[in-house]
Chain A
Amino acid sequence: MSLLLIGLAIVILAGGAALAANRRAGAASLIGAGGALIGCGVAFAGAWRALLAGGAESLRLPWAVPLGGFHVQLDALSALFLLPVLGLSGVAAVYGAEYLRGSLRPRALGFSWFCYNLLIASMALVIVAADGVLFLVAWEVMALSSFFLVAFEHERKEVREAAWTYLVASHLGTAFVVAFFLILGARAGSFDFDRIGGVSGARAGLLFLFAVIGFGTKAGFMPLHVWLPEAHPAAPSHVSAVMSGVMIKTGIYGILRAVTLLGAPVEWWGWLLVGIGLTSGVLGVLFALAQHDIKRLLAYHSVENIGIIALGLGIGLIGVSAEMPALAVIGFAGALLHVVNHAAFKGLLFLGAGAVQHATGTREIDHLGGLLKRMPWTGAAFLVGAAAISGLPPLNGFVSEFLIYLGAFHGGATLNGANAVASIFAILALALIGGLALACFAKAFGIIFLGEPRSEHALHAHEAGPAMRLPMLFLAAVCLAIGLCAPQVVRAMAPAVGCIVRTPSVETARLLSAAALSLSGIVLCAAGFLFLVTLLGWIRLRLAARDAPARTGTWDCGYARPTARMQYTASSFAQPLTDLFRVFLGTRREFAPPQGVLPSEPSAFHSETPDVFTERCFRPVFAGVAWLMAHPRRLQHGRVQLYVLYVALTLVALLIWYLGWLT
């Protein structure tokens, strides 16, 4: 605990110092990023120790806030969420120092680092807060600091719009979180996590719904996800990595904490989360397939991965309510591990996308191509991330998806009635998501990094510098390491899972042993696979050494003059799938075909897939609200005389009312 607080203090102090050094961009970056790295490292060590120790440490300090108290608690569940938050934030800070170096707004760097460090500290505080008021304060600081980070390039209109969308969505969600804590706290007469809780019946159900809506907005559950594909592309890449990799996980943490506060879960909670997981997962990956802005694509993949996590949580809740502890433990373990894994590979992918944007000046996938030869390190790291997020062995994404599959198969084979149906839908969702994610990342990596450059941007790309390259390679190594040490990782997670299901850690570890057995089998397979790759690769090299391979143009069925423009693009690669699911996607296509026998005007094709929920649900609703609000605006048009009249009329009305009251 003390290590954690010292680390966070370093982070905040460094942020303040960076703000003070605003005049000198280099110094601000160095102080801000260096402080974030060191502070996160120290705090990471503290969280690591707490996770291994398994117990809960708490600290109360006097705090002059009505209703609230400064009460923080570091238990295994908090520690598990802190590890990815601190790890990714620290690594991304190193990347950010170089990424922002060429920034057009050197005078804003100090403020940017101040917000970044504040974001790290507030995320950590959200996770350790054990008091409703403290939690809400930290939650709000987190939302505001990330709002300013998103609005970093605020002279661009789309960035401003994205930032506003984020701010509004975030606060609508916060309203539900506030309501959740108010109802819970009003009943207990205190906001301390130790005292509130233990509700049952319809009230618990309502509170659970509030938690799902409020925290789900931050996490990005469909259809509350609309801010994600706007805000993530607008932010600088290291910020996108932190927001997408770990900040949205505070929503998942919130739901888990809510479940532990509310007491015994009811069956439909699990069904609801499986349903949310199915829609978020499948629609998230479908929308991702239809995008050709790399960061928008990645943002939609966050929605998909949050869906996978929700599936795991749903399976876990079904296990608890159906009194199948093994199922509960496996479901929650899968969800928690996916939280950690997603931080690693999504952080990596956003950093890779940032490196590509840095090197080429564009995020448009269809303008890129052939970057693997120009950016070999970034390309290799991105490939690892792409394989991991597609859930392919031997990387980490496979391990956590496997655990959720294991739970779903177990539930599908043993449970009855609606619980079995929910498990089977979880299998269906995971299978569909797996295949579609593979298609999407084959597209993303294949079109960006392979083939020939499709534009001048890509032709003159250059490799990122060492401070950007190292974080990516580090995260790629983490992806491989978690994949290959899966049984040990899952065993270490037992205390955190125990916090949710409330079984002693020895019992949790025993229940997780079946999963650990499976994971040992997977590691054996993975090791065998890597051995085979080495062996077959060696044989291949021996065969190639016999006579040097010839180099020529692509065969292409004998076509002699292929050009880069004839290659498949991201849009054409995804077209069969986006066409198949056009009912959900509503892709808009504009096509100006060549006219006449000898066309003189160039033909054009453009397709875009705007978010269906933004277009059909939220935009009409907000337009309606704006329309409604336009009416009261007539009362307020800036004439002071009229305002005086309002005041006088009000006073007269009050006077009449008061006199009427007396008589």
Chain B
Amino acid sequence: MSATQLIHPLLALLLAPLMLGVINRTKAFFAGRTGPPLLQLYADLFKLLRKGSVYSRTASWVFRAGPVVGLAAAIAALALTPFGGQRAVVNFPCDLIALAYLLGLMRFFTILAALDTGSAFEGMGASREAQFSALAEPALLLGLAAVARLTGCLSLGELSLSEMLARVTPSAWQHAGAALGLVAAALLVVFLAENSRIPVDDPNTHLELTMIHEVMVLDHSGPDFAYILYGAALKMWILGAVLIGVITPVRTGDAALDIGAALGGMFALAVLVGVIESIMARLRLLRVPQMLVGATVLSGLALVLLLR
């Protein structure tokens, strides 16, 4: 393990909440408001950590374990995420499966914690989260399979996410641009769906009936809620890093330059999310599965292009 491998987790742990600040400022700019400060989420986290908790009499230990397991899984997944063409802290053949399933573990416990409160609203959110993420999974994994194929990871040892993304160079975009473009589109949809952003879910809605992720964590308070917010920010960073790994092929060999370009990409992505949220409405819930299946089709199409 080299020092450059450690840079990314530290950067992510430090900067992940900032992405949400950038998104919110972009949305405020579009709406002509001043908007919350860029560092608002940091302030919220510190405030929540100092507060006490309120627990439902219905809830059991699963409710308390949910945020802890979720955050631990997110940090473990972070160790598997490569950034800016650099290798991840832990990388091994097919590590992308471990990454996807660690995020799955996080989701499993979030859903269980929601069901533990016995609230109809939270059950509703849990049900929707389970549905949408089940449909997002094939899009993500097929997309990454396409990347593995087009970057020519022929031996088993080369099949790690770090190696695959390190090989997404400008020349790869030149000769397989169409396939990479399709994968990037699919990954963007997965990114928006998994992080509960518009057009799948509206984090700012005030109607619990239409919420997904926010409604699942209604009952959490204090440090537990801080864990959840921070875990969600990390999850957004991780999926963003995978997407940015595909669409910013800056691979100069100079670690500082590559990481800098990827960081720029991350915040450009945050701006993009803000723009999407400003110019689009949330889809009807019945339309969301169609969009996710569409993303799977895009990934599949990329594979078809590569199989010719």
Contact = CB atoms under 8 A, between A and B. Distances in A.
A438 interface: yes
Contacts of B98: 393, 398, 402, 521-522, 525
Contacts of B227: 536, 540
Interface stretch (B20-28, B30-38, B67-75, B258-266): B67-75
Contacts of A447: 115
B60 A387 contact: no
B142 interface: yes
A330 B159 CA distance: 14
B4 interface: no
Interface string B115-149: 11111110110111011011111101110010011
The listed residue with most B CB atoms (<10 A of its CB), out of A369, A370, A567, is: A567
A431 B292 CA distance: 13
B252 interface: no
Contact of A451 (B58, B153, B157): B58
Interface stretch (A89-97, A245-253, A309-317, A419-427): A419-427
A387 B65 CA distance: 14
B141 A568 contact: no
Contacts of A445: 112
Interface stretch (B103-111, B171-179, B180-188): B103-111
A420 B123 CA distance: 40
Given A373-B60, A412-B148, A556 B101 contact: no
Nearest to B73: A529
Interface stretch (B39-47, B197-205, B218-226): B218-226
B121 to A, nearest CB: 6
A555 B112 contact: no
B223 A428 contact: no
A624 interface: no
Given A518-B94, A576-B131, A552 B57 contact: yes
B117 A554 contact: yes
A553 B142 CA distance: 44
B79 interface: yes
Contacts of B108: 387, 390, 392, 438, 441-442
Contact of B130 (A370, A417, A438, A517): A438
Given A522-B98, A532-B72, A543-B49, A438 B116 contact: no
A169 interface: no
B156 A450 contact: no
A461 to B, nearest CB: 14
A102 B141 CA distance: 49
The listed residue with most B CB atoms (<10 A of its CB), out of A417, A430, A549, is: A549
Interface residues of A, number: 90
A549 to B, nearest CB: 4
A477 interface: no
A442 B126 contact: yes
B159 A434 contact: no
Given A373-B60, A431-B137, A550-B52, A442 B73 contact: no
Q: Bin chain B's interface residue count.
A: 35 or more
Interface in A309-368: 326, 330
A156 B187 CA distance: 53
A562 B107 contact: no
B94 A402 contact: yes
Nearest to B209: A557
A413 B141 CA distance: 13
A536 B79 CA distance: 16
A439 interface: yes
Nearest to A326: B156
A567 B123 contact: yes
Given A326-B156, A392-B101, A568-B115, A435 B219 contact: no
B76 interface: yes
A573 interface: yes
A406 interface: yes
A434 B224 contact: no
B97 interface: yes
Given A518-B94, A540-B224, A550-B55, A452 B118 contact: yes
A439 B219 contact: no
Interface string B148-161: 11001110110100
A523 to B, nearest CB: 10
Contact of A518 (B67, B93, B128): B93
B254 interface: no
Interface in A282-323: none
Contact of B52 (A412, A446, A518, A547): A547
Interface in A375-411: 383, 387, 390-393, 398, 401-402, 405-406, 409-410
A580 B75 contact: no
A564 B92 contact: no
A544 interface: yes
A406 B98 CA distance: 11
The listed residue with most A CB atoms (<10 A of its CB), out of B124, B141, B156, is: B156
Contacts of A552: 54-57
Contacts of A442: 108, 111-112, 115, 126, 130
A525 to B, nearest CB: 6
A2 interface: no
B14 to A, nearest CB: 17
A648 interface: no
Given A568-B124, A577-B131, A525 B119 contact: no
B281 to A, nearest CB: 20
Contact of A514 (B68, B93, B95): B93
Interface string A22-51: 000000000000000000000000000000
Given A393-B102, A436-B134, A427 B72 contact: no
Nearest to A424: B303
Contacts of A575: 127
A607 interface: no
A520 interface: yes
A537 interface: yes
B268 interface: no
Contacts of B61: 372
Contacts of A431: 137-138, 140-142
Given A424-B303, A557-B208, A567-B123, A439 B131 contact: yes
A566 interface: yes
Given A372-B60, A412-B148, A451-B58, A544 B101 contact: no
B142 A435 contact: no
Contact of A536 (B72, B120, B156): B72
A427 B302 CA distance: 15
A629 B128 CA distance: 50
B307 interface: yes
Contacts of A409: 94, 97, 145, 148, 159
A551 B156 contact: no
Interface in A524-570: 524-525, 528-529, 532-533, 535-537, 540, 543-544, 546-557, 562, 564, 566-568
| A-B interface, 8 closest residue pairs, ranked by CB to CB distance from nearest | A568-B123, A435-B134, A521-B92, A446-B115, A439-B130, A451-B118, A532-B72, A514-B156
17 contacts: A393-B98, A409-B159, A414-B154, A431-B141, A435-B134, A435-B135, A438-B130, A446-B126, A450-B118, A452-B58, A514-B93, A521-B92, A522-B92, A543-B223, A562-B118, A562-B119, A577-B130
Interface of A: 326, 330, 369-370, 372-373, 383, 387, 390-393, 398, 401-402, 405-406, 409-410, 412-414, 416-417, 420-421, 424, 427-428, 430-432, 434-436, 438-439, 441-443, 445-447, 449-452, 514-515, 517-518, 520-522, 524-525, 528-529, 532-533, 535-537, 540, 543-544, 546-557, 562, 564, 566-568, 572-577, 580
Given A372-B61, A413-B145, A556-B121, 6 more contacts: A392-B101, A436-B134, A447-B115, A540-B224, A549-B52, A549-B53
Interface of B: 49, 52-62, 64-65, 67-69, 71-73, 75-76, 79-80, 90-95, 97-98, 101-102, 104-105, 107-108, 111-112, 115-121, 123-124, 126-128, 130-131, 133-138, 140-142, 145, 148-149, 152-154, 156-157, 159, 208, 218-219, 222-224, 227, 285, 289, 296, 300, 303, 307
